[in-house]
Amino acid sequence: MSFHALYRHGFARLAACTTRTTLADPEANATAILSAARECHARGAAVAVFPELGLSGYSIEDLLLQDVLLDAVEEAAARIVSDSAALMPLLLVGAPLRHAGRVYNCALAIHRGRLLGVVPKIHLPNYREFYERRWFASGAGTEGGTIRVGGIEAPFGPDLIFDAEDVRGLTVHAEICEDLWVPDPPSNAGALAGALVLANLSASNITVGKADTRRLLCASQSARCLGAYVYAAAGAGESTTDLAWDGQVSIFENGATLAESDRFPAGQQMVIADTDLDLLRQERARQGTFDDNRRIHARPFRRVAFRLDPPMDDIGLERRVERFPFVPADPKRLDQDCYEAYAIQVSGLVQRLGAIGHPKIVIGVSGGLDSTQALIVAARAMDLMQRPRTDIIGFTMPGFGTSEGTKSSAHRLMAALGITARELDIRPAATQMLSDLGHRFAGGEPVYDVTFENVQAGLRTDYLFRAANNENGIVLGTGDLSELALGWCTYGVGDQMSHYNVNGGVPKTLIQHLIRWVAEEGIFAAEVSDVLRDVLSTEISPELVPADASGAIQSTEAKIGPYGLQDFNLFYILRYGFRPSKIAFLAHHAWGDAARGAWPPHFPEARRAAYDLPTIRRWLEVFLSRFFGFAQFKRSALPNGPKVAAGGSLSPRGDWRAPSDGTATAWLAELRRNVPEG
């Protein structure tokens, strides 16, 4: 079994197909369906969904009641069953079938030479251009039945779910076209009964604007049901006597569009996407109201088992995986996210200041990303409250590793914003404290250990708190979500603590885009925007250790890993609780090739890195060790601050509750057992 096999990591490949219809010729349509099914098999698909009445054609009207046609449909269905024996996908094929003296509009579930079951359409449209009640009976009330199709007996009714016994979560429900367009679609009940994959066999003629409504319905159903929704519409070959057909096929997952075809194809087309069954299971487990709803509205379903036997080698991943899950690559979405994130930070600070009597703000300004973001949040808050920006008191506090570049940026930014700027050199006090402690640095030795670093970090915070006392102010925190995840902050009297922290819910990879967005939006004067752009080019560093002989400064990422990878790890641990091996698999697809996939707008070419699997494994091990085995005690004592990212927060009063004395043993064991080192 290959590490790179998608079925090993909780994914299932889905296909939505439309074939060229030959009207009232089931044999020809069966040939087209089998051709597409073989292609789906070759591409490793687990499920392939075809259009409504695909074996006969949807638009043949009264021909649907002709015995010759219905006989031919049964023969063609039996042929597909027989010829599917060597094919992996579960095929969902549309056909008109006779049963109990009526004709039903059905979905046939076929797998490896078996007719697993037949699901009848429940809601038959009989308005405007639709006239289905003329030909068909509704499947309502047929639960628990059986049907014979071409001599094959199979379960019949809307109460069927098809469950792969060897692929956890690959549980499939089928509904047909109009079933989706009603207030309570059958797929609601199917999802509550455990189906994660919801299929819609549709004909769906096209009119102006209908495609948008259709997309909205499919996406919202996938979100409401916390599932995947696979939609296949009829296309070329259907009669255009009175209607037209666009043959669009699409796949959605929890509200997101995974794949969508072009419209109005000349013939057969399909889309393939890999849905994340683990993600959907996790969402349902986390959202307890989903199960509450099941307890109220659950209906009995029959589960029909089948064995998929999926490929366990590398067949790629048909799915877009964002390098920066907190930072969308789509420019419009990123712009919206930045607007909302900045507004959340500002409004949170405005509310807190108003609630405690409008104190001044005391903030340490280093010239780095985090303090810059916190400062421009504070400045905007003062503007909205119509208070002078001089009520913000910014301190630069140079230490032993402070560079002239960052100190200069800090002063330029404070001057451009018009806040009260002060400088407090902490080196004399730090030297005194190190001497009092008997630290070797005070004796002239270049010992740059954790005591050396934390003496500086602690003094900075200590001075800020005492300055806040002196100025009737509050200390505004600057530490971000990524640092909290990794424990990269000094506990207590250090940058872990403040009176209010606007950055605590913002990951490091998003902060640079927030700063750029503020600069480009012109929220402040042009001079401020110029300084912000300069800050964006600054190396991420705590600047607690002097530069080495070559002039190289202390690098945070060299110690705890690239923030791009660590924010990736954080997102999938915090938001979905994935196994380390799955996170490594996803990271390899996202970060394995710098030329693959989209980068966020304005992301510098020089920083577009790629990481091989051993590197991903190495930094994931660091993340797991720190996140689960070390850093929680710092997060358990966090100051207040707003949740910002949809991926989650680490507040002990919000998204994340965990013991301070936990261990990383289980997570590290899973990583080491299942992710190859080379």
Residue 559 annotated in active site: no
Q: Is 250 annotated as a binding residue?
A: no
Q: Is 436 annotated as a binding residue?
A: no
Nearest residue to 514 (alpha-carbon basis) of 373, 354, 355 = 373
**Claim to verify: residue 277 and residue 335 sit in the same structural domain:** no
Hey, is 395 helix, strand or coil? strand
**Claim to verify: residue 560 and residue 662 sit in the same structural domain:** yes
| Tokens read off for 385 | 């409250």
| DSSP codes joined into one string, 292-322 | HHHHHH----EEEEE------S-----S---
Question: Residue 526: how many CB atoms within 10 A of its CB?
Answer: 9
Hey, is 311 helix, strand or coil? coil
Confidence check: pLDDT of 403 > 90: no
Q: Is 31 annotated as a binding residue?
A: no
Among 306, 340, 373, identify where a domain stops. Answer: 306
**Claim to verify: residue 580 and residue 501 sit in the same structural domain:** yes
Hey, is 305 helix, strand or coil? strand
**Claim to verify: residue 582 and residue 658 sit in the same structural domain:** yes
pLDDT grade for 404, boundaries at 50, 70 and 90? confident
316, part of any domain: no
Average pLDDT, the chain: 95
Q: Is 484 annotated as a binding residue?
A: no
Question: Residue 413: how many CB atoms within 10 A of its CB?
Answer: 28
Q: Is 210 annotated as a binding residue?
A: yes
Q: Is 365 annotated as a binding residue?
A: yes
**Claim to verify: residue 497 and residue 568 sit in the same structural domain:** yes
Q: Is 369 annotated as a binding residue?
A: yes
Q: Is 53 annotated as a binding residue?
A: no
| Tokens read off for 212 | 């948008």
Of the residues 40, 177, 218, 225, only one is catalytic, namely: 177
- Could you give the C-alpha distances from 513 to 107, 335, 345, 347, 348, in angstroms and in order? 48, 9, 14, 19, 20
Q: Is 491 annotated as a binding residue?
A: yes
Q: Are 551 and 524 in contact (CB under 8 A)?
A: no
pLDDT tens digits, 18-45: 999 999 999 999 999 999 999 999 999 9
pLDDT grade for 678, boundaries at 50, 70 and 90? confident
341, part of any domain: yes
Q: Please, where are the H alpha helices in 108-209?
A: 186-192
633, part of any domain: yes
Give 193's DSSP letter: T
Question: Residue 497: how many CB atoms within 10 A of its CB?
Answer: 23
Type of residue numbered 389: R
Counting Cα atoms < 13 Å in the Cβ hemisphere of 386 gives 0
Q: What percent of the chain has pLDDT over 70?
A: 99
pLDDT grade for 549, boundaries at 50, 70 and 90? low
pLDDT tens digits, 423-449: 999 999 999 999 999 999 999 999 999
Of the residues 40, 52, 74, 175, only one is catalytic, namely: 52
121, part of any domain: yes
Of the residues 121, 360, 407, 643, only one is catalytic, namely: 121
Q: Mean pLDDT, to the nearest integer, of 141-166? A: 97
Type of residue numbered 196: L
pLDDT tens digits, 462-495: 999 999 999 999 999 999 999 999 999 999 989 9
**Claim to verify: residue 187 and residue 44 sit in the same structural domain:** yes
CA dihedral sign of residues 196, 197, 200, 201: negative
Q: Mean pLDDT, to the nearest integer, of 133-155? A: 97
Q: Is 478 annotated as a binding residue?
A: yes
The pLDDT of residue 566: 98
325, part of any domain: no
Confidence check: pLDDT of 129 > 90: no
pLDDT grade for 266, boundaries at 50, 70 and 90? confident
The pLDDT of residue 551: 66
pLDDT tens digits, 491-544: 998 999 999 999 999 999 999 999 999 999 999 999 999 999 999 987 777 777
More confident: 202 or 552: 202
Separation of alpha carbons 458 and 206, rounded Å:
66
The pLDDT of residue 542: 73
Q: What percent of the chain has pLDDT over 90?
A: 89
Q: Are 211 and 218 in contact (CB under 8 A)?
A: no
CATH number of residue 377's parent domain: 3.40.50.620
**Claim to verify: residue 380 and residue 281 sit in the same structural domain:** no
Residue 407 annotated in active site: no
Q: Mean pLDDT, to the nearest integer, of 221-250? A: 93
Separation of alpha carbons 494 and 637, rounded Å:
12
**Claim to verify: residue 416 and residue 297 sit in the same structural domain:** no
Q: Are 232 and 200 in contact (CB under 8 A)?
A: yes
Confidence check: pLDDT of 239 > 90: no
**Claim to verify: residue 289 and residue 369 sit in the same structural domain:** no
Separation of alpha carbons 300 and 669, rounded Å:
40
**Claim to verify: residue 283 and residue 392 sit in the same structural domain:** no
**Claim to verify: residue 502 and residue 580 sit in the same structural domain:** yes
More confident: 68 or 242: 68
Q: Is 454 annotated as a binding residue?
A: yes
**Claim to verify: residue 204 and residue 338 sit in the same structural domain:** no
167, part of any domain: yes
Q: Is 367 annotated as a binding residue?
A: yes
Residue 177 annotated in active site: yes
Phi, psi of 197 (to 5 degrees): -110, 120
359, part of any domain: yes
Q: Are 306 and 90 in contact (CB under 8 A)?
A: yes
Among 306, 340, 366, identify where a domain stops. Answer: 306
Separation of alpha carbons 427 and 421, rounded Å:
19
Q: Mean pLDDT, to the nearest integer, of 167-190? A: 97
Place of tokens 């949807």: 58
255, part of any domain: yes
Query: How many structural domains does the chain have?
Result: 2
CATH number of residue 98's parent domain: 3.60.110.10
pLDDT tens digits, 572-607: 999 999 999 999 999 999 999 999 999 999 898 989
Q: Is 106 annotated as a binding residue?
A: no
Confidence check: pLDDT of 664 > 70: yes
What is the span of the domain harbouring residue 524? Answer: 331-674
Separation of alpha carbons 141 and 102, rounded Å:
13
The pLDDT of residue 539: 73
Place of tokens 């189906």: 195
pLDDT tens digits, 449-471: 999 999 999 999 999 999 999 99
The pLDDT of residue 204: 87
The pLDDT of residue 358: 98
Q: Is 84 annotated as a binding residue?
A: no
Q: Is 370 annotated as a binding residue?
A: yes
Q: Is 277 annotated as a binding residue?
A: no
Tell the burial category of 56 from Cβ atoms under 10 Å away from its Cβ (0-12, 13-18, 19+).
buried
